[in-house]
Amino acid sequence: MATTSRSVRHGSDDEDPTPAMRRLRRLSLHLLQPAPEGGGSLVPAACAGKRRAGGLDADAAALTAYLRGRHRKMQARVYEFYVARPELQTPVELPMAAHRDLCFRQMAALVREAGVRPLSLMAADPAEYFAVMEAVGGVDISLAIKVGVQYSLWGGSVVNLGTKKHKEKYFDKIDNLEYPGCFAMTELHHGSNVQALQTTATFDPVTDEFIIDTPNDGAIKWWIGNAALHGKFATVFARLILPLQGKGGEPADMGIHAFIVPIRDLETHAVLPGIEINDCGHKIGLNGVDNGALRFCSVRIPRDNLLNRFGDVARDGKYTSSLPTINRRFAATLGELVGGRVGLAYSSVGVLKVAVTIAVRYALLRQQFGPPKEPEISVLDYQSHQHKLMPMLASAYAFHFARAYLVDMYSEMKKTNDEDVTADVHVLSSGLKSYITSYTAKSISICRESCGGHGYAAVNRFGGLRNDHDIFQTFEGDNTVLLQQVAGDLLKQYQQKFKGGTLSVTWNYLRDSMNTYLSQPNPVTARWEGEDHLRDPKFQLDAFRYRTSRLLHSVAARLQKHMKTLGGFGAWNRCLNHLLTLAESHIESVILARFIEAVKSCPDEKTREVLKLVCDLYALERIWKDIGTYRNVDYVAPNKAKAIHKLVDYLSYQVRLVARELVDAFDVPDQIIRAPIGMQSEAYAQYTQGVGFYRQPT
């Protein structure tokens, strides 16, 4: 049997002779550094700004250089533009009407004064477009969403669902903001279930027009960004109805299609006849975005306004499509709109970086309590605080590399139009959007709590970040629904495997790990507890993939069993929580694989060591959080589980020692951080001055 390196086993609670001594020992672990080796004594943790002898020497500049994407110059250009324009900066307190006006002026200035053309960027280099989106989100998340509505959704629908005639007519005027528009998909009664939308577009062969109608109040278009104030056009998703072409001369419902519908006069901005627009009102967050509700009453539009890439209607009313069924056309239509999910996943990582940066910098600054008759220590020296923030910091790094992979895949999809890549991106964007936005939403609240009372001040950003980001979990696909799409695709891949088919690129690891699962866990490796073994990327990735394979195999068996009595829908619902866990497990495996690859690819040795440390914490903390799964199947023996727990403590402490450099490496300017307690220097001075105190003369 191969020997392992130094053990991470420490004295256990069982070795303490009395319950009182065991409680004291647990309390001491809250304050003291976890020892890396068995039998080693516990020593006081280093205070803020100090580093333990022999610890990693992190270079923030080198980390920044590796993290920076090739579009960092564009982001810097955007930051500098808004920093130089105080009138375009969003204050902490702002009424809704003023915020909406400011948000439109911010977007107009970006396009008309800074010279950024988002739609052109999206078409030429999606990665640069997403970098711009992250930058404007740093200025104001409302601005990022408003830009996303204009370009990802309204512009993206014209580009991706239309044909040459639509691009020639609309592209430039959308890009230069002459044609502000909306994306009218969601209805009062239907959001996630797009195939059940009720708005109709009936073809009139006499006038060669479509007639857009809202048949009932449940079909009112709801939550439509840009609709309440600024939009002049809307891409309206409606059921295409062809008279007399159904069975027995009945109207034929051809399924959901997209139509360009003018909603306001281009000159006067008056709402056009037959259209009723109302304001959705004040929201929990994102009040710089003017969400409205639209109702249509016999609104006529030219036949050419059908976005006809996947289905067309001729002058004589004949319908043609390269895709033979309603379901195929619907899938193709939604598949072209994944850019919104990619953008949300990308931007959510940016929000997480800001929140973690504020919380970590404040935790390094803030000092509370300490050993008797000695100076107070940084709150980040407390083990409980490290457990709150260090895995979160590690996750921000993991997500950074995962989103880069997603954008690369999306860019490849746009260049090649390869069907397999498109399918891969659809599922990957669904999973990453769901997983990352859910994680970020929870993390913002933890960051707020970790900053105590000062975290509750609006000026320190957590309230605004939480409220503005919260809806990321819902729009562009509800997170629970998106995870089901991931689970459904995994089951499809599972079926393909046992039919002898090929697996798509992202999922091909299942081939080997499924074979591993179907054999019994190795009782020898299940007990290995050495640090080198636990920090081996192969062990970590194998553990993640083993869990996914096991969940996939077991849920497939459960579904097959329940389908006999409950049918397909009932069986799916009976296993729904199992399916969601499967999807999350798979996405975690993808994230870890990208992080490991990024560590290996780092050219600078010291930077690679730091990233390896952070990656190890990300992986082992996730394993520990789901240790019950591994214990239940004897993949991890009790002694190994205990070693993982202790190593997570130790790695959290090690990451704490380089936490300042890790957040500085995100390279987010202070003008974008904005929270006084999150400044790189003189945080308290900026905070006190911000509320009206000024330095007394010395």
Q: How many CB atoms lie within 10 A of CB 477?
A: 24
Give pLDDT, residue 498.
Answer: 57
pLDDT of 599 higher than 70: yes
Helix axes 419-450, 479-498, angle to 10 degrees: 140
Residues 120-140: tens digit of each pLDDT:
999 999 999 999 999 999 999
Residues 177-188: tens digit of each pLDDT:
999 999 999 999
Percentage, residues of the chain above pLDDT 70? 87
Q: Which residues pair with 233 in a beta bridge?
A: 181, 262
Residues 6+ positions from 135 with CB-CB distance below 8 Å: 74, 75, 78, 79
Q: How many CB atoms lie within 10 A of CB 404?
A: 18
In Å, what is the CA distance from 318 to each residue of 26, 163, 236, 328? 76, 18, 21, 19
Q: Please report which helix (H) or strand (E) contains residue 275, including its range.
A: strand 275-279
Exposure on the CB side of residue 349, measured as CA atoms within 13 A: 27
The verdict on whether 178 is a catalytic residue reads: no
Query: Picking from 11-20, 165-174, 614-623, which range would have the lowest pLDDT averaged per residue?
Result: 11-20
Higher pLDDT, 29 or 358: 358
| Assigned token pair, 117 | 């053309």
CA pair distance 572, 569, nearest whole angstrom: 5
Give pLDDT, residue 687.
Answer: 82
Give pLDDT, residue 279.
Answer: 97
Q: What angle do CA 41, 47, 50 make, to 5 degrees?
A: 100
pTM of the predicted protein model: 0.88
pLDDT of 501 higher than 70: no
| Assigned token pair, 376 | 């107070």
Mean pLDDT, rounded, of the chain: 87
In Å, what is the CA distance from 123 to each residue of 81, 155, 241, 330? 23, 10, 32, 23
302 Cα distance to chain centroid: 38
357 appears as a binding residue in the annotation? no
Percentage, residues of the chain above pLDDT 90? 70
- State the pLDDT confidence band at 508, using cuts at 50, 70 and 90: low
Give pLDDT, residue 20.
Answer: 46
Q: How many CB atoms lie within 10 A of CB 681?
A: 9
Residues 361-386: tens digit of each pLDDT:
999 998 899 899 999 899 999 999 99
Give pLDDT, residue 45.
Answer: 35
| Assigned token pair, 154 | 């309204």
CA pair distance 469, 257, nearest whole angstrom: 30
Q: Which of 128, 134, 187, 476 is catalytic?
A: 476
- State the pLDDT confidence band at 1, using cuts at 50, 70 and 90: very low
**3-state DSSP assignment of residue 303:** helix
Q: Which fold has domain 181-325?
A: Butyryl-CoA Dehydrogenase, subunit A; domain 2 (2.40.110)
| Residue 312 · residue 321 · CB < 8 Å | yes
Give pLDDT, residue 276.
Answer: 98
The DSSP annotation for 73-93 comes to HHHHHHHHHHHT-GGGSPPSS
Residues 224-282: tens digit of each pLDDT:
999 999 999 999 999 999 998 878 888 999 999 999 999 999 999 999 999 999 999 99
- State the pLDDT confidence band at 681, using cuts at 50, 70 and 90: confident
pLDDT of 604 higher than 50: yes
Per DSSP, 249 falls in state G
Closest CA to 105 of 258, 236, 288: 288
CA pair distance 573, 1, nearest whole angstrom: 46
pLDDT of 505 higher than 60: no
Report CA dihedral (80, 83, 87, 93) to the nearest 10 degrees.
130
CATH for 338-502+512-676 is: 1.20.140.10
pLDDT of 502 higher than 70: no
Give pLDDT, residue 53.
Answer: 35
333 appears as a binding residue in the annotation? no
**3-state DSSP assignment of residue 261:** strand
Give pLDDT, residue 9.
Answer: 37
Residues 307-359: tens digit of each pLDDT:
999 999 999 999 999 888 888 888 888 877 788 999 999 999 999 999 999 99
Residues 416-452: tens digit of each pLDDT:
888 888 889 999 999 999 999 999 999 999 999 999 9
CA pair distance 696, 688, nearest whole angstrom: 12
Give pLDDT, residue 25.
Answer: 44
Q: What angle do CA 304, 308, 313 make, to 5 degrees?
A: 65
| Assigned token pair, 195 | 């195939």
pLDDT of 159 higher than 50: yes
